[in-house]
């Protein structure tokens, strides 16, 4: 596309320069443009007026410069059309506009096995994602919005809409890259939720210090799940299905209690979540980070707190509405 832009600019420059030259030789503006275009395109229907010696010399110059420029431009345009560069450029512009309209999306840095698994789950749950990867072949044919580039560069993060994103998943190949992306993302968005992949347990503390909200070791989690299946297959399968099967009628989700929430300051008994929404309150995560499993009725809902609830989608929606005061 850069070559195409240069070629078109050169052709336009030749036409403008030729037209100005013919106008200086006494042509009207329209006749000057006509004479230039017919000369450069080698059509040559007729001369608008008799050329003087200076006009003939200038025309020779226009032919030598203009014809070569026109052939190069037409060849570049044809090459771009045949190889799909123009279509790719149009699609890229369309995707950039789509990303520009996104808000509350999830940015996935790295489209390897971990990134693809994360993207598949998020998409199945109805969340919009933007993928970043420096390897363009990995992104060929994917249906999600994507940006080809080095994610360690701030400009690439801005192109992915980091200022409007809800969260970011750093799933690059090396822990060093994930640490760098975490640092850059945290500097650009102090309130962004950042989940980083850790290939080694020793890297988790570094990622947390760099600003990640969570550092996840996929190998460790996979190994623990396999061991859990060996010891408690039914329990593990139930939790696995509830958390990852989007087709199941019941799900486990979290709902935040903010200071402005109507539930703030009330007890579990006073909130009457089971009676009003039908959800089962499994736990409460307090501001101190502690989990209160099966909280007793007298437990206060002190913001900022997070409710961990189990129920059908409609029941969970009713809980969100009640927490936000929209019901």
What mean pLDDT is reported for the chain? 86
| The CATH number, out of the four listed (3.40.1030.10, 3.30.465.10, 3.30.70.1450, 3.40.50.360), of the domain defined by the range 249-324 | 3.30.70.1450
pTM attached to this predicted model:
0.64
pLDDT at residue 247, as a whole number: 61
CA distance 253 to 197: 22
pLDDT at residue 215, as a whole number: 93
pLDDT at residue 65, as a whole number: 85
**What are the structural domain ranges in the chain?**
2-83, 103-216, 249-324
pLDDT at residue 18, as a whole number: 87
Tell me whether domains 2-83 and 103-216 share a fold.
Answer: no
pLDDT at residue 39, as a whole number: 82
CA distance 198 to 69: 54
Q: What stretches in the chain show pLDDT beneath 70?
A: 1, 44-49, 80-89, 244-248, 327
CA distance 194 to 289: 17
Q: Is 258 helix (H, G, I), strand (E, B) or coil?
A: coil
pLDDT at residue 7, as a whole number: 81
Q: Say which residues have a Cβ less than 8 Å from residue 251's Cβ, sequence separation at least 6.
A: 242, 243, 310, 311, 312, 313, 316
Q: From 106, 25, 102, select the one nearest 62 (Cα to Cα).
A: 25
pLDDT at residue 83, as a whole number: 59
CA atoms within 13 A on the CB side of 170: 37
Q: Is 147 helix (H, G, I), strand (E, B) or coil?
A: strand
* CATH class of domain segment(s) 103-216: alpha beta
Neighbouring C-beta atoms of residue 28, cutoff 10 Å: 12
Six-digit token string for 1: 């596309």
Q: Which CATH architecture has domain 2-83?
A: Orthogonal Bundle (1.10)
Residue owning tokens 């993060």: 157
| Structure confidence by residue, pLDDT tens digits, 185-217 | 999 999 999 999 998 888 899 999 999 999 999
pLDDT at residue 108, as a whole number: 96
Give the C-alpha distances (Å, rounded to integers) separating 52 from 55, 98, 192: 5, 57, 72
């Amino acid at each position: 596309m850069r070559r195409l832009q240069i070629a078109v600019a050169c052709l336009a420059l030749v036409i403008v320069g030729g037209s100005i030259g013919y106008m200086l030789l006494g042509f009207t503006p329209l006749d000057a443009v006509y004479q230039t275009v017919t000369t450069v395109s080698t059509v040559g229907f007729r001369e608008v007026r008799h050329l003087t010696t200076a006009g003939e010399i200038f025309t020779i110059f226009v032919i030598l410069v203009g014809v070569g420029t026109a052939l190069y431009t037409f060849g570049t345009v044809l090459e771009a059309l045949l190889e799909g560069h123009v279509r790719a450029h149009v699609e890229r512009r369309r995707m950039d506009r789509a990303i520009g309209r996104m808000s509350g999306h999830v940015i996935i840095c790295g489209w390897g096995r971990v990134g693809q698994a994360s993207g598949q789950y998020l998409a199945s749950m109805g969340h919009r994602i933007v993928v970043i990867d420096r390897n363009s072949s990995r992104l060929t044919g994917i249906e999600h919005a994507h940006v080809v580039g080095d994610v360690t560069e701030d400009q690439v993060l801005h192109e992915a809409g980091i200022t409007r994103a809800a969260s970011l998943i750093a799933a690059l190949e090396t822990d060093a890259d994930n640490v760098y992306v975490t640092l850059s993302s945290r500097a650009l968005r102090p309130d962004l939720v950042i989940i980083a992949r850790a290939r080694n347990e020793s890297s988790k503390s570094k990622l947390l210090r760099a600003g990640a909200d969570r550092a996840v070791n996929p190998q460790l989690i996979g190994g623990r799940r396999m061991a859990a299946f060996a010891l408690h297959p039914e329990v593990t399968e139930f939790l696995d299905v509830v958390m990852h099967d989007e087709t199941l009628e019941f799900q486990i989700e979290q709902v935040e209690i903010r200071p402005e929430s109507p539930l703030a300051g009330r007890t579990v008994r006073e909130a009457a979540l089971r009676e009003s929404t039908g959800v089962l309150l499994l736990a409460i995560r307090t501001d101190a980070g502690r989990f209160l499993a099966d909280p007793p009725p007298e437990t206060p809902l002190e913001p900022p707190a997070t409710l961990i609830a189990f129920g059908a989608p409609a029941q969970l929606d009713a809980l969100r509405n009640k927490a936000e005061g929209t019901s």
